[in-house]
Chain A
Amino acid sequence: MENDEKKYEDVIKALNSLQEVKAPANFEADLQRRINSEKFSKEEKKGFWENIFLPSKLIPSLGLVAAAVVIFFIVDTNPEEMDNPFLIEPRVREDVFVIAEYEELEQKQEEFSKQKSLKKNEPIREKRRDEDKLKSSERDESTIENIKIEGQRNSLEGKKELGRESGDVVDVLTDDKDLPEDKEIVSGAYAVAESTIVDSLAVPQPTTATVTSSELVTGQIITKEELNFRQVQLTEEEQKTVNELKVHVQSVEKPNKSQK
């Protein structure tokens, strides 16, 4: 620290040698005057509320209040006017007051309910009609197809008469192998035959159902009794015998084919 003071000795001397600047002669008088003027101004100063409620300053405050009131009425937050609920008159219900007697009211209600029910039923009836139409059109189509199948079948039967000595059931079973070109037609016949067997075995159904299935095959009405095979549930022994017969027939037919 002493070294620093030695280092800057000249600067320190120069600063120390500066003449002292004195305050102006009227310093104290001026100060007193300023202090007094501040005191006076303090006394003159009035509070915030006093300023507001001075008569001369009431004008802006009143203006402000008036503006606030106007804004309040112009900018209405609730656009719908709220009526006093105690002063509102009740609504006049004409439907109650026009009908004088109870009977008339009942009659009207009945009429109204009838009209309603009619309106409700109309679409249902239309639906039923549509369904019936659809069913009839499907039947027509199926009968046409069945007639075609029957015609084809007859022509096939004419061709294959010679080779058929055993029953129709066996014929049908063997036809599947012998005539692959007519497979589709014969398989259709198989399906019908099998369906009739299953139908009869499973649940006894009314004759109308069988009639419809037979129609599919022949295009004519054929009852179950007219069909040329027995509708019996085979036991295991019977099944074996049938299988043996099948094998026998096949074995008989093979040499015939080879001879041809």
Chain B
Amino acid sequence: MDIKLRELSDEELILEFQKNNTEAAFNILVQKYKNPLTNFVFRFLGDYEACADVVQETMIKVYRYKDSYSSVAKFSTWVYTIAGNLARTEYRRQRRRNIFSINDYGEEHKTYDLPDESYRPDVITDSGIKDEIIQKALLKVKEAYREAVILRDIQGMSYEEISEILGVNEGTVKSRINRGRAQLQELLKGIYKE
């Protein structure tokens, strides 16, 4: 049974789960998508714990609202759309929380820029640190551009898939990707010199 299910495509698996409530099909989908979704959400949020929660929430939504999936769309598109929405909500919540936590200690209605002491070009030797710098640069890119860049250059999705996930046309996707890349290039100038 399990072997047969593994041969099925994502769309067939979700349909199996919809019709027969086959939890094994759902588990296969979870195994298949847990890492790509974790990678996508982490690059967007920059917080691993929050990322794990968001991915779990995404899977729970797939489980609970399996009937709302229509076979017209790709499963990957559907699940990335859910994950993207939840990630955006979490990111905004985190940002609000940070602003309020700073305001608690200072004057009201006044925000502070946190000094980025972790970025030190003189110690860029380890790949782990390089990853961290790129991640921090990604987090500085505008929200809409960041999501498009991650889906394209990290997740390796096509423009069509990205337009379906983001709910915008392909032209908008391309422009967003280019603008995100431009911002990143500006932010990562020091790394390239090395």
**Residues of chain A contacted by B182 (CB below 8 angstroms):** 8
Q: A23-B55, A28-B30 are in contact. Are A12 and B153 (CB under 8 A)?
A: yes
Q: B175 → chain A, closest Cβ, in Å?
A: 10
B77 within 8 A of A: no
Contact among A1, A17, A20 with B35 in the assembled complex (CB-CB below 8 Å): A20
Q: B1 → chain A, closest Cβ, in Å?
A: 18
**Residues of chain A contacted by B131 (CB below 8 angstroms):** 18-19
Q: B125 → chain A, closest Cβ, in Å?
A: 15
Q: A15-B149, A28-B27 are in contact. Are A23 and B52 (CB under 8 A)?
A: yes
Contact among A1, A14, A20, A27 with B39 in the assembled complex (CB-CB below 8 Å): A20
Q: Which of B59-67, B79-87, B108-116 contacts A (4 or more CB under 8 A)?
A: B59-67
Closest B residue to A22 by CB, please name it. B35
Q: Are B60 and A34 in contact (CB under 8 A)?
A: yes
Q: A8-B181, A11-B185, A38-B60 are in contact. Are A22 and B27 (CB under 8 A)?
A: no
Closest A residue to B184 by CB, please name it. A11
Could you tell me the dominant secondary structure of chain B's interface residues? helix
Q: B42 → chain A, closest Cβ, in Å?
A: 4
B174 within 8 A of A: yes
Interface string of B64-95 (1 = CB under 8 A from A): 10000000000000000000000000000000
A30 within 8 A of B: yes
Q: Are B48 and A18 in contact (CB under 8 A)?
A: no
Q: B132 → chain A, closest Cβ, in Å?
A: 10
Assembled-state Cα–Cα distance A23/B39 (Å): 8
A87 within 8 A of B: no
Contact among A7, A28, A31 with B60 in the assembled complex (CB-CB below 8 Å): A31
**Residues of chain B contacted by A11 (CB below 8 angstroms):** 153, 181, 184-185, 188
Q: B169 → chain A, closest Cβ, in Å?
A: 15
Residues of chain B in range 134-181 having any CB-CB distance to chain A below 8 Å = 134-135, 149-150, 153-154, 174, 178, 181
Contact among B27, B30, B153 with A16 in the assembled complex (CB-CB below 8 Å): B153
Q: Are A24 and B52 in contact (CB under 8 A)?
A: yes
**Residues of chain B contacted by A20 (CB below 8 angstroms):** 35, 39
Assembled-state Cα–Cα distance A16/B174 (Å): 18
Closest A residue to B189 by CB, please name it. A10
B18 within 8 A of A: no
Extra contacts besides A14-B134, A20-B39, A27-B56 (6): CB < 8 Å: A4-B178, A8-B184, A11-B184, A19-B127, A38-B60, A38-B64
Q: List 26 A-B contacts (CB under 8 A).
A: A1-B174, A8-B178, A8-B181, A11-B181, A12-B153, A14-B184, A14-B188, A14-B191, A15-B184, A18-B43, A18-B131, A18-B154, A19-B127, A19-B131, A20-B35, A21-B35, A23-B38, A23-B55, A24-B52, A27-B52, A28-B27, A28-B34, A31-B56, A34-B56, A35-B60, A38-B64
Residues of A within 8 A of B (CB): 1, 4, 7-8, 10-12, 14-24, 27-28, 30-31, 34-35, 38
Residues of B within 8 A of A (CB): 27, 30-31, 34-35, 37-39, 42-43, 48, 51-52, 55-56, 59-60, 63-64, 127, 131, 134-135, 149-150, 153-154, 174, 178, 181-182, 184-185, 188, 191-192
